[in-house]
Amino acid sequence: MEIKLTTGSSLEIEESNYKFDARVPDGPLEKRWKNKKDQLELIAPPNRRNFRVIVVGTGLAGASAAATLGQLGYRVTVFCYQDSPRRAHSIAAQGGINAAKNYQNDNDSTWRLFYETIKGGDYRARESNVYRLAELSVNIIDQAVAQGVPFARDYAGYLDNRSFGGVRVARTFYAKGQTGQQLLLGAYQALMRQVDKGNVTIYPRHEMLDVVLIDGKARGVVVRDLVTGEIKSFAAEAVILATGGYSNVYYLSTNAKGSNATAIWRAHKKGAAFANPCFTQIHPTCIPPSGEYQSKLTLMSESLRNDGRIWVPKKKGDKRNPKEIPENERDYYLERIYPAYGNLVPRDIASRAAKRMCDAGYGVGPNGIGVYLDFSDAIKRLGKEVIEARYGNLFDMYEKITGDSPWEVPMKIYPAPHYTMGGLWVDYHLMSTIPGLFVIGEANFSDHGANRLGASALMQCLADGYFIIPNTIADYLAPMLTEKKVDTDHPEFKKSIENVKSTIDRLLSTKGKYSVDHYHRTLGKIMWDKCGMSRNAKGLSEAIEEIKGLREEYWNEVKVPGDNNELNQSLEKAMRVADFMELAELMCIDALAREESCGGHFREEFATPEGEALRNDEKFSFVSCWFWNGEVGKWAFAKEDLVFEFVKPTVRSYK
């Protein structure tokens, strides 16, 4: 197919005839996972130690998978770039984790969690995967509580819940504003228990730089020891990537500074299809940037929208102190436009509404980039004590960063890149298009369609890691029991090491003018302006050309000080940014090819008269999958059609 750019040139995209077999079982939706499990191959306990499994990443997905596989008796090797597995970015998740426990008796059910997740994702996810996620949600809570995760409780000692965007029940379990940290500590402690038992070996401060394929199967990884610079290789019978998302392509995002796409991108370049790269989530409640030096953006939990009311002044450019703006001169625009869900509309809807208000001149703060999130009504209604208990630590965090107290003045918030629904394509077994390469958590594309609902990321990571991968990986490994094991003497390992070394040498020898951060910031600005909250053909076309130019300049002008044989943070960043520069181009191409608006992907050309997303199910009810074709810019395209047997895609209304 040909994609025309508004700049005059066009992209020739090869259409691949790859036939995706998602290995989804048939039968009634609620029996599918059970039926699948009954059919999966097993490996007898004494035989499991014959299998080596590599896990890259120690967030909720990676840590829970590694702990469980260790417990089952596999020989597990784990890598993370952080100094300790406990620091992976899952730790920063604040608000909570969903589970269809129906503890509040508000008529919640597995079906409702499934339905709301499919609808929230704007009907761009696989029904069977999402149903399984909803089903497993209840087991996650049981597991976490047994590990000692200190979830909030009511005065009778039972678990407490709150509500999140896009739903009308209270099914979110939470531990103040630290749900991610507490769940990760649970998984990390389970992991360290397996280290103690000798089932798992951990290599912290090691970054994966390549996946090694032998006879088309993933058989190991090449990593760099971030302290000594040594390039090492490890062989295994299967590799699991749990390396998170790629929001840092925008430079400014809510992700940790180290979060990167290198592992999934190198796997993509070895043959793993990349699915829906343009599906990114811009989170509505973040602290607005304050200057050019800004290094990252801080999220304020979505849970704040349970009690906070979002508004802007009715008069454009109203610079009055918010306290002096009387009630009838305020526009509580979410409550006005979406009365059924009000301030708890899903993230994509809330973000775009904030952007529309600010673009139209109603924004607040020094640059007009912000809307108010106001707690004064809630403080009046519930008292300071209740609000303190619910959000105290979030209020403190806001005050530390901005110097303003939310007890005195409303918070100012603005959307920021937060999560990527896109990722490596996986089947129902969570295996990529490379046999033996599994992808779990945010790194895969599987469950959230075009928009993720709040408190569902933690749920997906732990469902994948604790309950799905331990079953499906056995099915892959079982037939390999009597096969000869590979080791790192194999020429494919040597070749991969050489490739990694040559990339490092090239970056270190360029000795150009500007720092890696300079290029990363420039890339981020292109992506935010042209492939961010709203996109159009003109902007995307320009972005594609600009990224190509920037990438060329990068490889000729970047300055990476130091050498390889030491701890070299500039070199680490240089490799990550080189990968972001390629991924960014694919995101823009995908966004240009998807001529519809759905979830977080909003094409200005495809909107209702009220400015809401206009989906095109007839033409775009599929997963866009991209195969690396030897060089950047030359991807091959294939589709996995989405079939809806149980829900009927409708207009996604929250009014």
d(CA 164, CA 9): 44
Stretch that binds other proteins, among 119-127, 341-349, 562-570, 637-645 (CB under 8 A): 562-570
Q: How far is the CB of 281 from other proteins (least distance, A)?
A: 18
Stretch that binds other proteins, among 32-40, 141-149, 164-172, 535-543 (CB under 8 A): 141-149
Place of tokens 């973040």: 286
- Regarding beta strands 330-331 and 280-286, do their DSSP bridges make them parallel or antiparallel, or are they unpaired? unpaired
Closest to other proteins by CB, 85 or 245: 85
Q: Does 548 bind other proteins (CB under 8 A)?
A: no
Q: Does 128 bind other proteins (CB under 8 A)?
A: no
d(CA 607, CA 438): 37
Record the tokens describing residue 170, joined without a space.
């209270």
d(CA 557, CA 616): 43
Q: How far is the CB of 59 from other proteins (least distance, A)?
A: 11
User: b/e per residue, 341-373, with b = 16+ CB within 10 A?
Assistant: bbbbbbbbbbbbbbbebbeeebbbbeebbbbbb
Site for other proteins in 429-488 (CB under 8 A): 466-467, 470
DSSP 158: P
Task: Please give the distance of CA 138 from its chain centroid, rounded to a whole number.
Answer: 22
Q: How far is the CB of 177 from other proteins (least distance, A)?
A: 9
Backbone dihedral angles phi then psi of residue 509, each to the nearest 5 degrees: -90, -5
d(CA 87, CA 458): 15
Stretch that binds other proteins, among 268-276, 287-295, 350-358, 408-416 (CB under 8 A): 287-295
Backbone dihedral angles phi then psi of residue 309, each to the nearest 5 degrees: -110, 135
Q: How far is the CB of 409 from other proteins (least distance, A)?
A: 16
Residue 247 belongs to what H/E stretch? none
Site for other proteins in 185-204 (CB under 8 A): 185, 188-190, 192-193, 195-196, 202, 204
Site for other proteins in 507-546 (CB under 8 A): 513-515, 517-518
Is 347 a catalytic site residue?
A: yes
Q: How far is the CB of 181 from other proteins (least distance, A)?
A: 6
d(CA 178, CA 184): 10
- 3-class secondary structure, 451: coil
Closest to other proteins by CB, 469 or 504: 469
Of 228, 262, 222, the residue nearest 490 (C-alpha):
222
DSSP 318: -
Q: How far is the CB of 91 from other proteins (least distance, A)?
A: 5
Closest to other proteins by CB, 194 or 432: 194
Among 8, 45, 46, 157, which residue sits at the site for other proteins (rule: CB under 8 A)? 157
- Regarding beta strands 411-420 and 371-374, do their DSSP bridges make them parallel or antiparallel, or are they unpaired? antiparallel
Of 188, 232, 184, 201, the residue nearest 78 (C-alpha):
201
Among 181, 243, 281, 472, which residue sits at the site for other proteins (rule: CB under 8 A)? 181
Among 24, 40, 152, 550, which residue sits at the site for other proteins (rule: CB under 8 A)? 152
Q: Does 562 bind other proteins (CB under 8 A)?
A: yes
Q: How far is the CB of 330 from other proteins (least distance, A)?
A: 27
Record the tokens describing residue 192, joined without a space.
């360290």
Q: How far is the CB of 74 from other proteins (least distance, A)?
A: 13
Backbone dihedral angles phi then psi of residue 593, each to the nearest 5 degrees: -70, -30
Stretch that binds other proteins, among 60-68, 111-119, 234-242, 447-455 (CB under 8 A): 60-68
Closest to other proteins by CB, 554 or 626: 554
Among 77, 129, 137, 143, which residue sits at the site for other proteins (rule: CB under 8 A)? 143
Site for other proteins in 246-275 (CB under 8 A): 254, 256-258
Strand segments (E) across 128-230: 172-173, 200-203, 206-214, 217-225
Stretch that binds other proteins, among 28-36, 289-297, 474-482, 579-587 (CB under 8 A): 289-297
Stretch that binds other proteins, among 33-41, 116-124, 150-158, 525-533 (CB under 8 A): 150-158
Among 4, 31, 49, 153, which residue sits at the site for other proteins (rule: CB under 8 A)? 153
Question: Which amino acid belongs to residue 536?
Answer: N
Strand segments (E) across 488-632: 622-627
d(CA 159, CA 173): 8
Among 267, 299, 577, 598, which residue sits at the site for other proteins (rule: CB under 8 A)? 299
Q: How many CB atoms lie within 10 A of CB 112?
A: 18
Q: How far is the CB of 196 from other proteins (least distance, A)?
A: 5
Of 236, 234, 218, the residue nearest 74 (C-alpha):
236
Q: How far is the CB of 472 from other proteins (least distance, A)?
A: 14
d(CA 519, CA 118): 37
Among 19, 400, 484, 648, which residue sits at the site for other proteins (rule: CB under 8 A)? 400
Q: How many CB atoms lie within 10 A of CB 73?
A: 18
Q: Does 569 bind other proteins (CB under 8 A)?
A: yes
Site for other proteins in 63-122 (CB under 8 A): 64, 67-68, 71, 82-87, 89, 91-92, 101, 103
Active-site residue, from 32, 126, 305, 347: 347
Query: For other proteins, what does the binding mask look like between residues 360 and 399, x meaning CB under 8 A?
Result: ------------------------------------xx--
Closest to other proteins by CB, 494 or 513: 513
Backbone dihedral angles phi then psi of residue 346, each to the nearest 5 degrees: -60, 165
Closest to other proteins by CB, 298 or 376: 298
Site for other proteins in 579-638 (CB under 8 A): none
Q: Give, in order, the Cα–Cα distances in Å from 611 to each of 432, 501, 593, 603, 606.
A: 36, 49, 21, 10, 9
Find out whether 414 and 253 touch, Cβ atoms under 8 Å. Answer: no
Q: How far is the CB of 515 from other proteins (least distance, A)?
A: 4
Q: Does 154 bind other proteins (CB under 8 A)?
A: yes
Of 47, 167, 152, the residue nearest 95 (C-alpha):
152
Closest to other proteins by CB, 81 or 115: 81
Among 182, 456, 472, 597, which residue sits at the site for other proteins (rule: CB under 8 A)? 182
Among 7, 10, 227, 383, which residue sits at the site for other proteins (rule: CB under 8 A)? 227
- Regarding beta strands 411-420 and 280-286, do their DSSP bridges make them parallel or antiparallel, or are they unpaired? antiparallel
Of 228, 238, 223, 406, the residue nearest 309 (C-alpha):
406
HEC string for 359-381: HCCCCCCCCCCCEEEECHHHHHH
Site for other proteins in 311-330 (CB under 8 A): none
Closest to other proteins by CB, 147 or 629: 147
Closest to other proteins by CB, 120 or 370: 370
Q: How far is the CB of 40 from other proteins (least distance, A)?
A: 15
Among 319, 567, 643, 655, which residue sits at the site for other proteins (rule: CB under 8 A)? 567
Find out whether 498 and 231 touch, Cβ atoms under 8 Å. Answer: no
Site for other proteins in 401-420 (CB under 8 A): 401, 403
Record the tokens describing residue 132, joined without a space.
């399984």
Find out whether 182 and 175 touch, Cβ atoms under 8 Å. Answer: yes
Q: Which residues are catalytic?
A: 347
